[in-house]
C-alpha cells in the first residue's frame, strides 16, 4: 500500500483513495498518508453504520493530523445484507441516518476544537466531549458521501462536501441522475450546489489485448449488478433485464455466464481497451464530474494482472503523458 500510494504521488495525480473491502479503510489511509507528502488521501469508502460517529470522527481527526490536512473522509452505507450479516448492525432508513451521522461527526470534530457538543437526533445522541489531549484537526475535514440513487444523492447535496459516485456508472448517469439530485439537495438546504464536489469512480481496464480488458471489466460490472440497489443504473442504459439472470448465475457460481451477460454493458458502464481508447473515453466525464477516481477491476483478475493494470493507468494518465 505504501509503495502504491508513493507511485501515485510521483506520477502527479491529485489524490489517492482506499476502499473498505478486505482491509480497514482507516488503516490503509494511515499507510497512504505516511507514504505521501502532497496529494489528497481519501476513503472511498469507509463504512458509516458499523462505527459510531464519535469513533469515525476520532479516526478522521487523527488522519487529518497525520496527513497535515490532506485527508478526505468518504463514508458510505453499504447494502442491507452486508450491514446485517457481516457487521451485525441494523440497516434502517439509510439516507436520513447517514445524513445525521455526518452532522454528528462534525459535532465531534468541533468538540476537539473546544466547542460544546449536544447532539440529540433521531439515530444518535452525543453529549460528552472527547477525552482531552488530541486537539483540533488542522483545518476542516471534508466529508463525502457515497451515493447512487437520487435520495442518497440529495442527502449528499444537503449535508456533505462531496458525493462519491459508484464505479459502475457513466457520464449519462451522472448528468441525468446524480448531479440534478445533488443540486436539489443543496438548494433545499440553502447551499450553493457548486460547494458540493461531484467525484466518481470508474471501472478501468487497460490492456493491448482489448478482449482481455473488456472481459475483466465485464466481470466487475457483473459482480456489482447482482445488487438490486444498482438496478436504476442498469435501467437507465436498458440493461435492467439482466439483473435477475446475473443473480442466478452468481448463486450458481457460473462466472463465465456472468461475464457473457455483462460484456454488452462494458461500453456503457466501464472504460476498457487500449490506453488510447481509455483516454478518449475518460474525456466524456469532464463536463459532469469534478474528480474521477481511476480504479481497476478487483473481482477476477490475478494480483499480477491487477498490478499491470495499475501501472498502465499511471503511465496513461500520469504527469509524464502530459495529462493535467
Instruction: Label residue 148 by pLDDT band (50, 70, 90).
Output: very high
Instruction: Label residue 320 by pLDDT band (50, 70, 90).
Output: low
Domain membership of residue 253 as a residue range: 148-324
Stretch 61-89: mean pLDDT, rounded? Answer: 97
Q: What is the CATH number of the domain that holds 31?
A: 3.20.20.30
292: left (phi over 0), alpha (psi -120 to 50) or beta: beta
- Residue 82 predicted with pLDDT over 70: yes
Instruction: Label residue 228 by pLDDT band (50, 70, 90).
Output: confident
Indicate the average pLDDT of the chain: 95
Q: Do 136 and 152 lie in a common domain? A: no
Number of Cβ within a 10 Å radius of residue 92 = 12
Q: Can you name the residues that pair with 43 across neighbouring β-strands? A: 18
Spatial distance between the Cα atoms of 250 and 219, rounded to a whole number of angstroms: 11
Q: Do 71 and 209 lie in a common domain? A: no
Instruction: Identify whether the C-beta of residue 79 lies closer than 8 Å to the C-beta of residue 105.
Output: no
Q: Do 156 and 302 lie in a common domain? A: yes
Q: Do 127 and 169 lie in a common domain? A: no
DSSP string for 209-260: SHHHHHHHHHHHHHHHHTSGGGHHHHHHTT-GGGHHHHHHHHHTT-HHHHHH
Q: Do 125 and 167 lie in a common domain? A: no
Domain boundary pick from 105, 122, 141 = 141
Domain boundary pick from 115, 141, 167 = 141
Q: Do 288 and 226 lie in a common domain? A: yes
Q: Do 172 and 27 lie in a common domain? A: no
Stretch 281-285: mean pLDDT, rounded? Answer: 95
- Residue 321 predicted with pLDDT over 50: no
With a pLDDT cut of 90, the percent of the chain lying above it is 97
Report CA Rg, the chain: 20
Domain boundary pick from 141, 158, 188 = 141
Give the H or E element holding residue 163.
strand 162-165
- pLDDT tens-digit map of 229-274: 899 999 999 999 999 999 999 999 999 999 999 999 999 999 999 9
Amino acid at each position: 500500500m505504501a509503495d502504491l500510494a508513493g507511485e501515485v504521488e510521483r506520477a502527479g495525480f491529485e489524490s489517492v483513495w482506499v476502499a473498505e473491502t478486505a482491509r480497514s479503510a482507516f488503516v490503509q489511509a494511515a499507510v497512504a498518508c505516511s507514504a505521501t507528502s502532497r496529494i489528497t488521501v481519501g476513503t472511498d469508502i469507509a463504512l458509516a453504520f458499523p462505527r459510531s460517529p464519535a469513533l469515525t470522527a476520532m479516526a478522521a481527526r487523527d488522519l487529518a493530523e497525520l496527513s497535515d490536512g490532506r485527508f478526505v473522509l468518504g463514508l458510505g452505507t453499504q447494502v442491507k445484507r452486508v450491514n446485517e450479516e457481516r457487521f451485525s448492525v441494523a440497516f434502517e432508513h439509510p439516507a436520513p441516518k447517514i445524513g445525521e451521522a455526518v452532522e454528528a461527526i462534525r459535532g465531534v470534530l468541533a468538540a476537539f476544537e473546544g466547542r460544546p457538543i449536544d447532539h440529540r437526533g433521531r439515530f444518535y445522541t452525543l453529549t460528552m466531549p472527547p477525552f482531552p489531549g488530541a486537539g483540533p484537526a488542522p483545518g476542516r475535514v471534508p466529508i463525502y458521501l457515497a451515493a447512487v440513487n437520487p435520495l442518497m444523492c440529495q442527502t449528499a447535496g444537503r449535508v456533505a462536501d462531496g458525493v462519491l459516485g459508484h464505479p459502475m456508472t457513466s457520464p449519462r448517469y451522472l448528468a441525468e441522475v446524480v448531479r440534478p439530485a445533488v443540486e436539489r439537495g443543496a438548494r433545499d438546504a440553502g447551499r450553493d450546489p457548486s460547494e458540493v464536489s461531484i467525484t466518481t469512480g470508474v471501472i478501468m481496464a487497460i490492456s493491448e489485448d482489448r478482449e482481455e480488458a473488456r472481459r475483466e471489466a465485464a466481470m466487475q460490472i457483473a459482480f456489482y449488478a447482482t445488487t438490486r440497489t444498482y438496478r436504476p443504473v442498469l435501467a437507465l442504459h436498458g440493461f435492467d433485464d439482466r439483473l435477475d439472470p446475473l443473480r442466478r448465475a452468481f448463486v450458481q457460481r457460473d462466472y463465465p455466464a456472468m461475464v457473457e451477460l455483462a460484456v454488452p454493458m462494458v461500453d456503457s458502464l466501464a472504460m476498457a481497451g487500449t490506453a488510447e481508447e481509455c483516454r478518449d473515453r475518460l474525456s466524456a466525464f469532464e463536463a459532469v464530474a469534478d474528480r474521477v477516481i481511476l480504479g481497476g477491476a478487483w473481482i477476477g483478475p490475478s494480483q499480477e494482472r491487477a498490478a499491470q493494470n495499475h501501472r498502465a493507468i499511471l503511465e496513461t494518465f500520469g504527469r509524464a503523458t502530459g495529462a493535467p
